[in-house]
Structure formats: structure tokens, C-alpha cells
Chains A and B, each alone.
Chain A
Amino acid sequence: MNLFRSEEHITRWLGDRTPGTTLTARQLSDLAHAWWGTRLAPDWRPRTLEQNQAILDGLGLTGQFWNLSGS
């Protein structure tokens, strides 16, 4: 889960490896804030897989790559 100067740098870094998925810095920040924003809340409770999936879905991160259950 790395940061890159641009998509060109990702392509070079990947080489022969199978690509994963790429987000813009804004998409990443939105994801991080949705995912970690309650981490220090006094009433924090572990999220279910379904709740985590709903966060991804809500950000438009859908498809097999973002499927937490792998099913």
C-alpha cells in the first residue's frame, strides 16, 4: 500500500507483477477518513465484515478487488 509520484511510476514499479488497484490521493484520503475516523472513539466497537464492506461500497470501491470476503 504505497504512494507514488504518478501512474507512470506505478507501472515501472510493478514490472511483471500483476497490478492491484490504483487510487488518487483524494480517494485514498476519503477512504482513510471513513475507515479510521472512529478508531479512537471511546465507544469504538469492532466493525463487522459487512460494515467494512459498506464503507468501501459507499466510496465506490466495488468489484472483486475490494470484496473483503473473497466470495
Chain B
Amino acid sequence: MQLRNRTYGLFVELGRAPTIAETAAATGTTPAFVRTAWGRLHDAHALVLHPHGEIKMANPFSAAPTAYRVFASGRWWYANCAWDAFGVCAALHTDGRIETSCADCGEALTVEVHNAAPDDETLRFHCLVPAAHWWDDIVFT
């Protein structure tokens, strides 16, 4: 788990997903070692990788811009979904601001998260995929 924890640590330090090369350099290993270890983490659902081996998701963080933007700990992050957007604040143990839009009408939605509670109780979250099938296609989920 050391490489996994260091990978997440690098994500937070950099404010973005570390590359294979950066992670190898930071851990005193080789790109081949990181590639293999990340592959095992991908298989264990602890990371989600692109086909070329770089990080796509380190849940709750997204490596690429998404519709869920979170300002927390002094910088902007991207989350993979609404659940993960709150998860960014949870993982960082901090308040934050979530910016997204209603998936139906596109209206901009801003949620301030303070002491783990959202400031807008009127919003609703919908999960289409039952829990047993979340990892059938995690990107769709």
C-alpha cells in the first residue's frame, strides 16, 4: 500500500494526478514498477487507469476536468461525480465549494460544504446504477 498512499499523496501535493515518471522518481522506483503496481491497484478498484497506464481516476479525485469542480484546501479539484465532489472535501477533511450544474436543465449549482454539511438542502442526488453494478462500468456509473 506504500505506493498507493504515495500516489495519493502526490496527487494532493501536485493538485493533479502524478504521472508514472513522477511517481517513479518520487518513490525511488522505476516506471515499470509503478506501471505494474498501478495495474494491480486498478484491478483492485483502488485506482482507475487509462489504457496507456496513466491515472484516470484516483477516487474521489478525477485526473481530467469534469462537470464537478470543487474548491477546497486553496485550490480547484475535479471530482468524478456528485458523490465524489463531496468526497473531495471528505478526503481532504476540509470545507469546500462544489460547482456543477443540474444534470437535467443545466442550471448552475453551487454548494458550500461546511463542517461536512451542504448549505443547500433542496438539491437532490440520483444514482441510476445499483450498487452491485457500480464497477461494471465505473466511468458510466
A interface, CB within 8 angstroms of B: 1-7, 9-10, 12-14, 17, 19-33, 35-37, 39-40, 42, 44-46, 56, 64-70
Contact = CB atoms under 8 A, between A and B. Distances in A.
Given A9-B104, A39-B8, A65-B130, A33 B86 contact: yes
Secondary structure of the B contact surface, majority rule: mixed
Contacts of A68: 131-132
A3 B123 contact: yes
Contacts of B87: 32-33, 35-36, 39
Nearest to B45: A46
A42 B81 CA distance: 25
Interface stretch (B17-25, B27-35, B112-120): B112-120
Interface in B56-105: 59-60, 68, 81-93, 100, 102-105
27 contacts: A1-B82, A1-B141, A2-B81, A4-B103, A4-B124, A5-B102, A5-B109, A9-B102, A13-B104, A13-B126, A22-B126, A24-B124, A25-B121, A26-B121, A28-B82, A28-B83, A28-B118, A30-B116, A36-B88, A36-B90, A36-B91, A37-B91, A39-B8, A45-B1, A46-B46, A65-B127, A65-B130
A46 B1 CA distance: 9
Interface residues of B, number: 51
Contact of A33 (B90, B105, B107, B132): B90
- Which 4 A/B pairs are nearest by Cβ-Cβ distance? A70-B132, A32-B86, A36-B87, A1-B81
A4 B132 contact: no
A5 to B, nearest CB: 4
Interface of B: 1, 4-5, 8-9, 12, 44, 46, 59-60, 68, 81-93, 100, 102-105, 107, 109, 111, 113, 116-118, 120-133, 141
Contacts of A33: 86-87, 89-90, 116
